[in-house]
Structure 1
Amino acid sequence: MFLVYWRYFLYVIDHKLNVLIECWKEGLYIEGIVHDMSKFSPKEFAPYARKFYSNQKNENIELAWRYAWLHHQNHNKHHWEYWIVNKDTKEALPMPKKYMIEMVCDWRSFSRKWGRKVKDSNLVERMVNSNNIILHPDTREELERFIKKK
């Protein structure tokens, strides 16, 4: 089991480094450093490690991971889900700009991880205009402006 935790730890460190690089470019030094610190918490670390790095697959592992993912979204302001007031009515609070930019840096980091070049126009297409993402209208507008200026 140690290897499962070690591999996940290395993944998180790599992800944090990639986000730090993207945040640094945007002047978000603190956000880049503290990004996803909750992934080291007991509520998230073991469930994530077991879900993605162990050979065990069962309902308990899946359920624990779902709770961990919910915890992650609700404790990290760079996730759009954090700002949702009512999912049914698609009502959300405006995201402060620094968290909105950190969210974009997080998106960019995943492409960096898998060796793909990120084009911000693709982010608008896939993420911002997605019906799956609930954003306050002001946040959506700010996000579109931010991505288009890049």
Structure 2
Amino acid sequence: MMKAYWRYFLYIMNHKLNVLIECWKEGLYFQGVIHDFSKFSPAEFFPYAKKFYSGKPLVLDEELNWKYAWLRHKRKNKHHWEYWVINPNTNEALPMPKKYVIEMVCDWRSFSRKWGKKVKESTLNLTDSIVVHPETKRELELMTSPQRTDKPFN
């Protein structure tokens, strides 16, 4: 299991570096540093490592622990759109403060990098598949528009 923990730790560090680079470009220095810090907590770290890096299927209790870890992660990190959903049955969400919208987009962009090296221009836009407040949706559409040239966001 130690190998799984090490591999997951390296994944987190890679992800944090990539998000830091994207946040830095947008002037979100502090958010770039603290992004996804909750992933180091035992409640998230161990279930994630087992789920994605152990190479073994999870038993029922382990799968449930991972689901709790994912729920905890979304509820502790304001850059996740799920944090702002107040009624999933009616698709009702609060408006996300702009700094968290920007961090969310930086998070999306980060997946086009490996250890800080730019791989490709990210065109990932999940605006139509997530539940967000109409104001947040408008902001996201502006931020992720291919025609957009006014960087940084803030």
Report the TM-score, using the length of structure 1 for normalisation: 0.90
Specify which of 121, 126, 139 is matched with residue 142 of structure 1. 139
Q: In structure 2, how many angstroms separate the alpha carbons of the residues matched to 1:89 and 1:140?
A: 16
Q: In structure 2, how many angstroms separate the alpha carbons of the residues matched to 1:75 and 1:49?
A: 19
One-letter code aligned to 2:74:
Q
The 8 Å contact of residues 16 and 35 in structure 1, kept in 2 or not, is answered as yes
Match of 2:152 in 1: none
One-letter code aligned to 2:37:
M
Q: Tell me if 1:34 matches 2:31.
A: no
Q: In structure 2, how many angstroms separate the alpha carbons of the residues matched to 1:118 and 1:68?
A: 31
Give 1:55 deviation, angstroms. Answer: 2.3
Match of 1:50 in 2: 50
Give 1:23 deviation, angstroms. Answer: 0.5
Deviation >4 Å, runs of 4+: none
Match of 1:81 in 2: 82
Deviations 1:22-58 (A, max 9, x none): 1111111001000000000111000000001102212
> What SS does the corresponding residue of 1:11 show, helix, strand or coil?
helix
From the two aligned structures, give the one with the greater helix fraction: 1
One-letter code aligned to 1:51:
K
Report the identity percentage. 63
1:55/1:147 CA distance change after superposition, 3 Å? closer
The 8 Å contact of residues 112 and 118 in structure 1, kept in 2 or not, is answered as no
Higher relative contact order (CA closer than 8 Å, sequence separation 6+): 2
Aligned length: 144
1:28/1:86 CA distance change after superposition, 3 Å? same
* CA RMSD between the two structures: 1.6
Match of 2:60 in 1: 59
1:113/1:62 CA distance change after superposition, 3 Å? farther
Deviations 1:75-124 (A, max 9, x none): 000000000000000000000000000000100111224975234xx334
One-letter code aligned to 1:11:
Y
**Which stretches in structure 1 are left out of the alignment for 5+ residues?**
none
**Which stretches in structure 2 are left out of the alignment for 5+ residues?**
150-154
Match of 1:118 in 2: 121
One-letter code aligned to 1:53:
Y
